[in-house]
Amino acid sequence: MFKSPLNHLSVMALIEGSSLIALVLLAVPLKYLADWPVGVKIIGPIHGALFIWATLALFVTLSRGQLTPARGAAVFLASLIPFGGLWSHRMMRRQLDAAPVTP
Q: Is residue 102 part of a domain?
A: no
Measure the CA–CA gap between 10 and 46, rounded to whole angstroms.
18
Strand, coil or helix: what is 65?
coil
Q: Is residue 83 part of a domain?
A: yes
Quick one: pLDDT at residue 59?
Answer: 98
69 contacts 62 by C-beta, under 8 angstroms: yes
Quick one: pLDDT at residue 8?
Answer: 96
pLDDT, one tens digit for every residue, the chain (103 residues)? 678 999 999 999 999 999 999 999 999 999 999 999 999 999 999 999 999 999 999 999 999 999 999 999 999 999 999 999 999 999 999 999 998 766 5
Quick one: pLDDT at residue 39?
Answer: 96
Q: Is residue 46 part of a domain?
A: yes
Quick one: pLDDT at residue 2?
Answer: 75
Quick one: pLDDT at residue 103?
Answer: 54
Q: Is residue 68 part of a domain?
A: yes
E strand or H helix that includes residue 90: helix 84-98
- The whole domain housing 18 covers 5-97
Quick one: pLDDT at residue 3?
Answer: 85
- Looking at the structure of the chain, the number of domains it has is 1
Strand, coil or helix: what is 26?
helix
What sign has the CA pseudo-torsion 52, 74, 94, 4? negative
Q: Is residue 103 part of a domain?
A: no
